[in-house]
Amino acid sequence: MSIRKSSLLFPRTSNWVGVGALGAALLATTALPSLADEALADLVESVSPSVVTIIAEQKSSPVQARDQDFDFKGHPFGEFFERFGGPEGFQMPDRGPGQGLGSGFVLDEDGYIVTNHHVVDNASSVTVRLSDNRSYEAEVVGTDALTDIAVLKIDAGEDLQAVRLGDSDVIRVGEDVVAIGNPFGLSSTVTTGIVSAKGRNISEGPYAEFIQTDAAINKGNSGGPLFNMEGEVIGVNSAIYSPSGGSVGLGFAVTSNIVEHITADLRDDGQVSRGWLGVSIQNVSPQLAAALGIDETSGALVSDVVDGSPADGTLQQGDVILSFNDEAIDSSSDLPILVGTTKVGSDSVLTVLRDGKEQKIEVTIGQHRSAEAQIDNIADDKVEGTSLGVTVAPLTESTRTEMGMSETVDGVVVTELQPESPAAKAGLQRGDVIVRIGNQDTVTPDALKAALESEKTDPALLLINRGGNQIFVAVEIA
């Protein structure tokens, strides 16, 4: 089972199931609507005009029939190719252009639209279709892969109906919620449920926090709003946990308070200005608490301090950060979110447990360096992978912290790409982490070289991590 993004290329085959005579009879006995039903219908009617469909066009690309990951359904020899692969040199017709579908909502009347980063990532063009079926070409104002949020802009020639962002901190587990989106291209689909949990961390990066809901969220709901019963957006639907790809009642939405911060930054200059402290942290386990001589297992244990960072000279290895600007740190995952949404250059106060005593420490929050700056700061322990045309470096703990990379990710960081190299042509970027080639892990530069030397498949299948999201890339080996 796995976490799956809820956007999807529109399905080629239908999976409709008839309700049957018995089902029709049961539907006919539905009770009359209650006052609660009327209130829900009023809410849906009032906010639905603000929910939009996102159509992301991908450039067409030929597909080699010997690529075993290709879906051969619909081809006359599809079953044969699925089992044995296509003949050497055979080329399937172009895919497309591909068309990815997602959801979004109007953030303000001027035409700013919110959706997910993964809905529009690498799109050659993006179209926004309003609830009344009017369509407009959209400008991608900016995206943030670390929180999976994107802001688009359309010019509809008139004011649009916008939604309000609510306060996701005050919602309670058990509250009713409503999701509206376009699952499988079925626009303006409404599902209901409750807040199942708050503060979920689903390994999508250190700066995203999720609301869990049992409202049905499926492929195509990505980027759509999750409403409270006041008609306020409290989250942006982003992912589902599912063994099959369909909804099993485990949906996740980026909290509205994070969305508010990220969208404001993106609208300002197309980029996110993210606060930075410069520490590696971990949870305080019962065993660590005993070793440290403390009673509580809350807080964030400082395991390393980055040289030259805002924390350098103020925080120490072994410090336990208990609060940040009076916000309690229950686990280590709380701290990056609080720091990341703090204004760069502002003075912040940390409550720290050091040598068994609590003390207040003031730190001036720095600017989280861009991917380019982070990569340039990587140590010179580099090994060239000439078959790919890249230069890589180890993913050290300090590098992992600076890049905001989860500690569960292992691999090597791409620091340079040769122009017109196989890696560059395949779309690799500086800052990508190469996790695996074929079925071989690439946890060190030497492991990458060994994997390349033993790789017999051309193109080679690379698993990379980009901004916290793992994707496969096929690269022709030179």
**Residue 172 burial (10 A CB sphere; 0-12, 13-18, 19+):** exposed
Can you spell out the DSSP letters for 346-395? -EEEEEEEETTEEEEEEEE-EEPPPHHHHHHTS-S--EEETTTTEEEEE-
Catalytic, 222? Answer yes
Count of residues in the chain: 478
**Alpha carbon distance 177, 181 (integer Å):** 13
Strand positions, DSSP E, 42-169: 51-58, 63-64, 91-92, 98-108, 112-115, 125-129, 135-144, 149-153, 164-165
**Alpha carbon distance 478, 429 (integer Å):** 18
Number of Cβ atoms within 10 Å of the Cβ of 374: 20
Catalytic, 261? Answer no
Find the angle CA(129)-CA(145)-CA(218) to the nearest 5 degrees: 50
Question: Distance from CA of residue 269 to its chain's centroid?
Answer: 21
**Alpha carbon distance 255, 208 (integer Å):** 8
In the set 6, 50, 118, 168, the catalytic residue is 118
In the set 103, 187, 222, 323, the catalytic residue is 222
DSSP state of 131: T
- Omega cis (within 30) before 336: no
Contact yes or no for 119/7 (Cβ under 8 A): yes
Find the angle CA(434)-CA(439)-CA(442) to the nearest 5 degrees: 35
In the set 144, 148, 319, 432, the catalytic residue is 148
Burial 126-142 (b: 16+ CB within 10 A, else e): bbbbbbeeeebebebbb
φ, ψ of residue 269 in degrees (nearest 5): -145, 15
DSSP state of 185: G
Element (H, E) at 44: helix 35-47
Q: Which amino acid is at 228?
A: N
Catalytic, 118? Answer yes
- According to DSSP H, which parts of 98-199 are helical? 117-120
**Alpha carbon distance 204, 188 (integer Å):** 27
List residues with catalytic annotation. Answer: 118, 148, 222
